[in-house]
A and B are shown apart, each in its own frame.
Chain A
Amino acid sequence: MQNNPLHITIFPSYDTTTQTYSPVRTPLQFSLLLSGTLDVFEARSRHLANPTAVGGANMLLSGDFGLLHAIDDRLAAYGFETNTGVKFVAVVDMRGRPAKNAAAGSGGGRGSSGGGIGGVGLRDNELKPVFRAVQTAYVRLLQNPFYDPDETTPLAGAKRITSRKFGDEMKRIGETWMPGVTAL
């Protein structure tokens, strides 16, 4: 199982005290946060390997991991894994935004995110459009003959996605999504 970050997009959150938009964490903190979700993927897969797990088969089939975990009372990470093992993570700022919202994603894959309308909570399936859109974008990226998913960097591991189109798409997904949106 590869766990290289492929792409991270960070969206600004609305800070109620300063009335400005700024990310709630530094990029390093987001990296740590996203890498922390890998533990959940791993634990969940272990859990699913055990046949008595509730809903295990369902999750295995759809790849939707739903809520991975809440980081605190504000941020929550949702996950999705394609059948090739690319993971998408969306970190949602549950405090919401007036119109726009926050956060980032990645894992063996990556993700993006937006925020909900403050305080109403989220159902797991409300993130589905996000993951579907991200997967579509990723599939398009793979269709590009010049993109080699196995290409490695001079250091180690897989190369990060450098496609601007992909980045823009992530941005669009993150900025457009809000709870209740069914297609992106």
Chain B
Amino acid sequence: MDGLDHNVPFLVVSGLGASPAKPLPTDPELRERGILVRSELSAVDTREAKTLLRFIQEADTSNLPWQSRDNPKKFKFKVRTIGREFLLPPRRARLPDNLDAPTSAFVLHSPFSPLSPGSTLYPDGLIDTQWLHKHQYLIPSVYLCFYTLTSDPTLATLHDNQLKADINAIKNAISQSGYKTRLAVVILSDQSPSTVSQFQERLENIRRSTGLDPKASLFVLPTRRTEAELETAVDNVLTAIFDQALEYYRDLGRHSRKKKARGVAPQPTIPPTSGTSHTLSLQGWNTRYDFKTAVLAEFRQEFDVALKSYEQAYETLLGEDLLETIPTWNPRFNDARLLADIVAIRALKCLLLSGQSTAAVRRWQIHNDRICDIVDRKGQGTQNYGWKAWQARWCAVMANLIEKVNFPELEASSLLFFRPPEKNLSAERLQPWELLHHSGYWYRAAARHLLDRRTFAQSIPEEDRKPPDESSKAGIARKAYNYDTYMCPEPHEEYPLQAPGVNHAQLIFDYLILARTEFQKRRQKHASVELTLDACRELEILGEWQQILELLAPLWRNIAFRSEGWWDITEAVGWTLRRAAFEAGQKELIIAIDWELMNKAFSRRPDWHYDISKALDGISVEQPPVISLDDEHLTSFIHTDFVFRHEEGKAGQTCSAQLSLVSSAFSNAAPITLKSLNILVEGGLREILIKHEKTPTQDPPSKTLEFAKVVIKEIEVSRGDAATDDSDGASLSQDKLIVLQGTQDLTLFPGQTRVFEFDIPLREPGEAKATSIHISLESEKYSLSYSMRPGRAASSRQWYSSLSPKRQLIRPDPHSIRILPRPPKVEIVARRMLELYYMNECIELGLDIMNEEASDATARMDVTLRGSGAPPYEVRIVGGVAQSSTLGNDDKTLRGIQMNTISMGESAAVVLTLSPINMPTVVDISIKLLYFLVSDPSTPIIQEAFYRLNVVSPFEASYDLLPRIHPEWPSLFNAENIQNLSGSDAVAPRSCGLAQRWALVTRYASFAQEDVLISDLEVKVITTQGNVTCTASKVEAFPVGGRILNPKTIEEAQFDLISQKSSLDDRSPATADLAFTIKWRRADASDTVLNITTLPLPRFFVTVSEPRVLATVSYSSSPSFPASPSRSPSKLLFLDITIENPSSHFLTFGLTMEPSDEFAFSGAKVTTLNVLPVARRSVTYRFLPVVKGTWIRPTLVVRDKYFQKILKIIPTEGMKSDKEGVLLWVPPEDESEDGNEVA
């Protein structure tokens, strides 16, 4: 629409750059009567001038968005650059040529005024776009001239005078034209800003003689500076003259208001004589003035002022005295409508630019309603294509305005689809539509109106669609009455009978695509699908099949509607696309769509064949296409499921499984015959392939559920035949591949459920899962395969039974099966396993490997020992290899011990020998036998066995060390000793120090659980400390055959221990470490076995340095007690008290013997005994006991005279002691009698 340009001040720039070839004005009026403004000086054509020109042209905002947020500059211009000449339009209209001689002086008016007879508006028009055009394109607000200031002093005066003359000439020309265009002059100087001041005087001269204002209209621009500085300077100049321009438009606006304020309608130059003598009414003039005022305010960018004037103009225009009075047959009616539209649009623009979006929508709605009201009352009504065309246009106008204004809230990134209302309106009850939605909504609304327009156009009766020359005059009149042709074609052009008329489909399509672009920008996916679908409907009418495919096919492939269950939408897209695909010959698409539309969830097309085999009927097929589809992208009317009967199965066995096929095709659809069914299983199962085999009967089934058992066999096929695209790459190296194949009639009737049951042999252990089911279809024209994952249908996870119609739900995940390894049938048997094993014995474990498989087996064995102190060991295959574990290696594992082939039913023996263990512990033995059957060498089978050995100590022992009197005491006066002491070093040292004798009593107990045979006992001296030699010897010899020790019994053994210091001078105490060794074997073990258990003894002192008192007893007749009974009739007892003094001191002891009732004694009652250093002395007492068979206590006190210390008397053989002292045994009477008898 004309008259809708955004108005910005018009600036003419003269004299910059090479003068372009001057185009002749196209308007003859302008060419003939235009007022020429020209300059005699040549244009400035320097490099700087070109730069300046560029800056100025860049400042032209007429093509930018109205509210450019990127433009920070304060001024806006529509810039026109000219050379040195400019034509201003004539100020006054001409009188008509045919006018008679004037009767009086005519008042001439503007050529565009309704007062001028030459104007199109004469005599009663309102205003038209010529006036707007004049101000935007013909009359500049500012005429900007560029000149140079020469810096050549010789030419200065001449040039300056020329300059002055030229400026004055232009000034005069403009003022004579009657226009109030401002003149601004820029004088360019080749100096820099600092040096230009030297011309100050000349410039002042020019200013004075031209009368220009240095702040507003005369500018000096030194050009010797950087571009950025130059640009700033140009910006400053433009900002200054922008104020001038605003002033110019303000003057014009003031003029308009003044004219309106006069309140009278001006008289035309010549009163109208032809037609009606109607002239423009006062209201018309007011509208005209208000409109002008508003537009001029727009030039000034004062939109709120403009809006006020527009509203005034609008109200007056649509008021009772203006539009209502114009008859509709009058072209002025449509002119007025157009003006109303223009005013409304401009008002909308002002509202939008001032951010009042909701008010703008309201304004939009009000205009729509008022025009609707007027057209209904005065015009041809709203039930015709013309009105709909206008409504569509009215919506599109709003969309355009929104795009031009470019609200930040409505930008695609804002995620808002509509702009919130202005603050002052937000509390009101708003119509939802009054929140300004983005332009996509408006385009969509426009498209909807165009759809209505087409509907109305198509209902035009035939006689109106004929070209006008054929129709009668009455018809023309009727047409004029019936059809609103405001801004749209006549009915015979809108929808002609023969020729194509208005291309409605294209118009609608264009709007829809514009809308779709906006919706897509804002990620409104669903909404843009709707628009695409609508657009494709139009393309269908246009026959643009290829374009439909481009738009719709990607949508159809992945619309969310399918997964979201919007079936009606999927269906609509499907059918539209199918038609396009059919027309474009897209075979794959046709088949895919047909496949989907077979589902009875869609609505039924009554005349459709619903036979997938007829999908390509009507299309020539040269090479049958191969199509593969899947349930990711396309739904299907066939649903499949595949379930295993059991959750677990063992390798080598079979598991039954069911494949169910459910058809949910339309009941009248053709049955479908599949070529094959493929079940892909991941994990250790083969692919299952069921092929179609025709059976003679093809009648529709009586039951909806048909059950069939299928026999499947393992068949080796070459890879190509397997009909799988994606079988795993691991077996790619093999050309052959084994599938489980069966045959069955694979015809599926609509609504039928077919169940195939078969037994699947399980081979490899692991998890197996059915991943997808492929169904393949083949006809002469195409072959199709559809793959789906099992269990997506509602009827999934069910087990069908052939006997009962009841289906049972079996498990949460019946598509997978766990295949357990084949159970081993080779047994490992320990030949003899003991409950306890003992330390220090060599453990031998015999194992039998018994092959109970139905085939020979080759086996390898792994043995592992665990437990602290696990000993080195050896594994020996009887009749085969032996392998030992390495000593010191922590890992007590032997791997891969190769065994001989074990024949069926035979057994092999293995012996494990563990070295003796020195500590009580627990040893775990695990044996892993990996074997292969000769009949199936690829399946490894594993048998395992575990044994635990408890190793305990078989014996424990306790020890006592008792002092005894050594028969020898070294004499200081022995010559040998003396000699030895002073002897040469060469002589081997002989022990000649003090010697002491001890009795070691050991009591040892058996902790074994069975009898053990002790073959020998021994005490060993391991080490001694303190220069002592120590020898141990058995007191009595051990029986040669050994001695059986029963469990939990204690035995005693005595050893004689003699220790002798190496030197007499050395009198420090000495110790010895002893060990008690038991040589034994199990009572039932063979004689060759000898186990040695060594029990360490605590450390003993074997010589002491302190004096000690030893008591020895002897009987008168028999000194040995208790081995042989006493023979003496007198029964005298002899008590020897021996005091040893190993120290180097002279010691004196007092001995006191108390009398007792139990005995009589002879010897010193009180005596003193002196013992020399390193000497020994004895005192003997004789006792005659009065009691028999009891212990008697001689009360003897030995006191060290010097230290006044009582020494303890130490008993020896045949004596005992308690706290009080030593006790002596008196043999009983009868014992002697017994003794006598024995003797």
Contact = CB atoms under 8 A, between A and B. Distances in A.
Contacts, number: 131
Given A39-B523, A70-B433, A121-B434, A46 B415 contact: yes
B565 A67 contact: no
Interface in B439-474: 441, 444-445, 448
Contacts of A42: 523
Interface string A68-107: 0111111010000000000000001010000000000000
Contacts of B560: 3
B432 A43 contact: no
Interface in B789-826: 792-795
Given A4-B565, A69-B417, A123-B429, A36 B434 contact: no
Given A43-B417, A43-B522, A43-B523, A157 B564 contact: yes
Interface string B560-576: 11111111110010000
B1020 to A, nearest CB: 85
Given A35-B566, A47-B416, A121-B431, A154 B639 contact: yes
Contacts of A154: 601, 639, 662, 664, 793-795
B754 interface: no
A57 B1192 CA distance: 109
A47 B415 contact: yes
Contacts of A37: 526
Interface string B1000-1019: 00000000000000000000
Contacts of B664: 154
Interface string A94-135: 100000000000000000000000011111000000000000
Given A72-B441, A119-B431, A122-B432, A43 B564 contact: no
Interface string A1-29: 01111000000000001000000000110
Nearest to B569: A31
A86 to B, nearest CB: 14
Contacts of B635: 155-156
Contacts of A44: 415
Contacts of A76: 431-433
B565 A72 contact: no
B42 interface: no
B445 A72 contact: yes
Contacts of A46: 415
A128 B666 CA distance: 42
A153 interface: yes
B433 A31 contact: no
Contacts of B441: 69-72
A120 B429 contact: yes
B66 interface: no
Given A70-B441, A72-B433, A121-B429, A153 B416 contact: no
B435 A70 contact: yes
A154 B793 CA distance: 5
B791 to A, nearest CB: 11
Contacts of A119: 431
Given A36-B530, A69-B417, A76-B433, A155 B565 contact: yes
A38 interface: yes
Contacts of B448: 72
Central interface residue in A46, A74, A92, by most chain B CB within 10 Å: A74
Interface in A124-158: 151-158
Given A43-B415, A122-B429, A123-B429, A155 B526 contact: no
A27 B567 contact: no
B430 interface: yes
B566 A31 contact: yes
B1217 interface: no
A40 interface: yes
Chain B's interface size range is 35 or more
B523 A73 contact: no
Contact of A32 (B430, B432, B533): B533
Contacts of B564: 2-5, 35, 157
Contact of B428 (A3, A31, A70, A121): A121
Contacts of B566: 4-5, 31, 35
A2 to B, nearest CB: 7
A33 interface: yes
A14 to B, nearest CB: 17
B431 A69 contact: no
Interface in B519-534: 519, 522-527, 529-530, 533
Interface string B501-538: 00000000000000000010011111101100100000
A67 B435 contact: yes
A27 B572 CA distance: 12
Contacts of B523: 39, 42-43
Interface string A153-182: 111111010000000000000000000000
B383 interface: yes
Contacts of A28: 568-569, 572
A87 to B, nearest CB: 12
Which of A67, A156, A160 gathers the greatest number of chain B CB atoms within 10 Å? A156
Contacts of B561: 35
Nearest to B793: A154
B524 A32 contact: no
A27 B568 contact: yes
B882 to A, nearest CB: 67
B526 A35 contact: yes
Nearest to B417: A69
Contacts of A158: 565
A55 B793 CA distance: 43
A39 B523 CA distance: 7
A94 B441 CA distance: 16
A31 B416 contact: no
A36 B440 CA distance: 13
B435 A17 contact: no
B418 interface: yes
A119 B362 CA distance: 11
A44 B524 CA distance: 11
B524 A43 contact: yes
Given A32-B569, A47-B415, A67-B432, A72 B444 contact: yes
B300 to A, nearest CB: 33
Interface in B608-629: none
A39 B526 contact: yes
- Of the candidates A36, A74, A153, A155, the one having the most CB atoms from chain B within 10 angstroms of its own CB is A155
- Looking at A17, A32, A47, the one whose CB has the most chain B CB atoms below 10 A away is A32
Nearest to A155: B601
B416, B530, B566: residue with the most chain A Cβ atoms closer than 10 Å = B566
A70 B440 CA distance: 12
Contacts of A73: 365, 431, 433, 445
A79 to B, nearest CB: 12
A99 B629 CA distance: 52
B371 to A, nearest CB: 14
A122 B519 CA distance: 25
24 contacts: A2-B564, A3-B564, A28-B568, A28-B569, A33-B530, A36-B524, A38-B526, A39-B525, A39-B527, A43-B416, A44-B415, A67-B418, A70-B433, A70-B441, A72-B445, A121-B431, A121-B434, A122-B430, A154-B793, A155-B565, A155-B601, A156-B635, A156-B792, A160-B565
Interface of B: 365, 383, 415-418, 428-435, 437, 441, 444-445, 448, 519, 522-527, 529-530, 533, 560-569, 572, 599, 601, 635, 639, 662, 664, 792-795
The 6 A-B residue pairs with the shortest CB-CB distance, nearest first, are A76-B432, A157-B565, A121-B429, A39-B524, A70-B432, A36-B527
Interface of A: 2-5, 17, 27-28, 31-33, 35-40, 42-44, 46-47, 67, 69-74, 76, 92, 94, 119-123, 151-158, 160
Given A5-B566, A32-B533, A154-B662, 17 more contacts: A3-B564, A28-B572, A35-B526, A35-B527, A36-B530, A37-B526, A39-B523, A39-B526, A46-B415, A69-B437, A70-B432, A70-B433, A76-B431, A121-B430, A122-B432, A154-B639, A155-B567
